[in-house]
Amino acid sequence: MMEFTEDCPNVFERFRYHDIHSAHVQDGYWMFYEEPNYRGRQFYLRPGEYRRFSEWGATLPRIGSFRRVHYFH
């Protein structure tokens, strides 16, 4: 288990793995991307528990990058 609090443009370079099988979003909203550098298919995660990657809409656990979603008014 790992806790993420900041954006990550390349999951594999930073953590030496890229499969994320579950997630628990405690605060804010996050976007997962299939590819590094915020590319590829996107998955929007709201606060809550995701026990399997299929719960956020993915067919595979591979995540290339992720970042927090910021809303501006």
Going residue by residue through the chain (73 aa), what tens digit of pLDDT does each one get?
Answer: 777 889 999 999 998 988 999 999 999 999 999 999 999 999 999 999 999 999 999 999 999 999 999 877 6
Burial zone of 17 (CB within 10 Å; 0-12 exposed, 13-18 middle, 19+ buried): exposed
Neighbours of 64 (CB within 10 A): 20
Domains of the chain and CATH, by start: 13-68 (2.60.20.10)
Do the beta carbons of residue 50 and residue 24 sit within 8 Å? yes
Q: Provide the whole-model pTM.
A: 0.89
Q: Number of helices and strands (H, E) in the chain?
A: 1, 5
